[in-house]
Chain A
Amino acid sequence: MQRIYSQNVPPSTPSINLRRIAAAIIGKESCEVTTMEYVNPEGLRLDGRRFNEMRQIVAEVGVVSKADGSAVFEMGNTKVIAAVYGPREIQNKSHQQKNDHALVLCEYSMAHFSTGDRRRQKNDRRSTELSLVIRQTMEACILTELLPHSQIDIFLQVLQADGGTRSACINAATLALADAGIPMRDLAVSCSAGYLNSTPLLDLNYVEDSAGGADVTVGILPKLDKVTLLQMDAKLPMETFETVFALASEGCRAIAERIREVLQENTKQLEYRRAA
């Protein structure tokens, strides 16, 4: 089993060739990119991580005072804020499909300032697709049958995008739902992994993500050992896929551990204060 631990990554490592990064950002057609070295001979990636290391995780719950549950989740430079409202009365009756289950709605958006070049459109196809994916993942883990005639709204906003926003959103949503006291089968957690330079890499950042290699996003319910999300945007041989998938799910477990710690610490704090 691979060892996985988060670490504080320094912003620049001596081995990085800035021109290469620039080429990777500009586009794939640049011939330098094809020969680009994402893992150097010492086994270090562009930001100084090893292949099985994720970025530093910072998580905090209860950041939006008016929401029923809220959280901020950071993975390295990716930062997402989540707010959950509900369960509450169904606002728009036409949305309602099943009367005896809670309705889960999700809205994903990226802040205009979240990427290097200012983003203009608000409801583009990417956001719509991600909203749907996150909604389906969260719906699978919420015990909707316990909350009939109600709706749960999940709002996710990406404050900083540096690869892996999909995973970060799911993790943030899980934290916010737990904070809102909504019953769930398990903590749904997600992590991505990729395959570059014949090496499986855990938790891709933006530069690695845009390199054109495979990007596998995995969402699991760790305690139940079930997969709720699996997305890949390239082709991989079966054996390679399996190692990459195993790496990603191992990453998920590490995140689940961290999320659990954060929630336990928060609950302890609230309970100590409350107890009279």
Chain B
Amino acid sequence: MVMRKLELPLSQTQKVRFQTAIERLQSPAEGHGTSEVDDELLATVCGVVVRVDKLVYVRTLRARYKPQVGDIVVGRVIEVAQTRWRVDLNFTQDSFINMHDDNVQKRRTSVDELNMRNIFAEDDVVCAEVGEFHKDGSLILRVRSQKHGKLDKGQLLKVDPYLVKRIKPQFHYIESLGIDLILGCNGFIWVGEHGHVRDPMTKNTRKEQSHTPLETRQTICRIGNAIQVLSNLGFTMTLEVIMETFKLSNTRNIDIHDMLGSEFHVLVTENEAERRHG
């Protein structure tokens, strides 16, 4: 029962209690997605059973994003409220960016509240970090680092969150193509033209005058379609896989609009099988 012999003068009831407690320690610990009914561990969600030592839990596949503090996420602004922006993250509740966040704005006056749309307007795509959970379970996002903030000149792709792994770094700069790729933990993926980090305040007051060349736009679409194909097929997204798919479409001379066709899906599947078993 126990490794070392315990020299305890146990009474009968104590013995029974001790025994029960030890037995409980030996039984598997219930994790997420499980419940115990009549001494039987049942799954409450549809997914894959994972065992870590004594812990048994069920990992869901097609569920909504479960945030963890520190995750890098990409979201879309859905509402500009009094002092904060409401952001859609594919989470069970709404998420917010507070205006009083350090990096969004240094000065906080009532005039700034009126000009909130200059920073983020509705339907803008933003990149942020999961800050903390509010008391009611909603989420507060942080726009701390220079890497965070509004994203423009690119494409947002929504995939199932289980396809994106929580591996750092999530920001990728593909130097040869001049493309930025952000793999948000919430399954929102950003592909856009590489931009120099700018202060969120100054960025928007100045009118955008620069023009994105056609070649870059095509590259963005090509990578976007590669991600879409991988998402349709249910393959895990990593930088390597995305770039491999991108290159595959280039070497096979497949047009951007043909990438979502059946032939390319088959090609990608063959390539993935080759990669895993080759």
Chain A residues with CB under 8 Å of chain B are 62, 68-69, 86-89, 143, 147-150, 178-186, 223-224, 263, 267, 269-271, 273-276
Interface string of B28-54 (1 = CB under 8 A from A): 000001010100001011111000000
Instruction: Chain B residues near A181: list those with CB within 8 A.
Output: 45-47, 60-64
Q: Complex Cα distance A271/B47, Å?
A: 9
Known: A224-B37, A276-B238. A263 touches B46 (CB 8 A): yes
Question: Any chain A CB within 8 A of the CB of B20?
Answer: no
Residue of A nearest to B269 (CB): A273
Among B108-116, B145-153, B229-237, B247-255, which stretch is in contact with chain A? Answer: B229-237
Known: A223-B37, A274-B235. A69 touches B93 (CB 8 A): no
Task: Check A267–B48 contact: CB distance below 8 A.
Answer: yes
Which of the listed residues A178, A183, A263 has the most CB atoms from chain B within 10 Å of its own CB? A183
Sample of 13 A–B contacts (CB below 8 Å): A86-B92, A87-B64, A89-B94, A149-B92, A150-B92, A181-B47, A181-B62, A182-B45, A183-B33, A183-B45, A186-B42, A270-B234, A274-B236
Q: Complex Cα distance A184/B60, Å?
A: 12
Q: Complex Cα distance A276/B138, Å?
A: 33
Question: Any chain A CB within 8 A of the CB of B120?
Answer: no
Give A256 Cβ to nearest chain B Cβ, in Å.
13
Task: Check A143–B46 contact: CB distance below 8 A.
Answer: no
Instruction: Chain B residues near A271: list those with CB within 8 A.
Output: 48, 61
Known: A181-B45, A263-B46, A274-B162. A62 touches B93 (CB 8 A): no
Q: Complex Cα distance A153/B47, Å?
A: 21
Known: A181-B47, A267-B46. A274 touches B61 (CB 8 A): yes
Instruction: Chain A residues near B45: list those with CB within 8 A.
Output: 178, 181-184
Q: Complex Cα distance A263/B44, Å?
A: 13
Which of the listed residues B61, B62, B93, B136 has the most CB atoms from chain A within 10 Å of its own CB? B62
- Which 10 A-B residue pairings sit nearest by Cβ, starting from the closest? A181-B63, A181-B60, A273-B234, A178-B46, A87-B92, A183-B44, A89-B94, A150-B92, A276-B236, A270-B61
Task: Check B62–A68 contact: CB distance below 8 A.
Answer: yes
Question: Any chain A CB within 8 A of the CB of B107?
Answer: no
Instruction: Chain A residues near B37: list those with CB within 8 A.
Output: 223-224
Give A109 Cβ to nearest chain B Cβ, in Å.
24
Q: Complex Cα distance A143/B60, Å?
A: 15
Give A220 Cβ to nearest chain B Cβ, in Å.
15
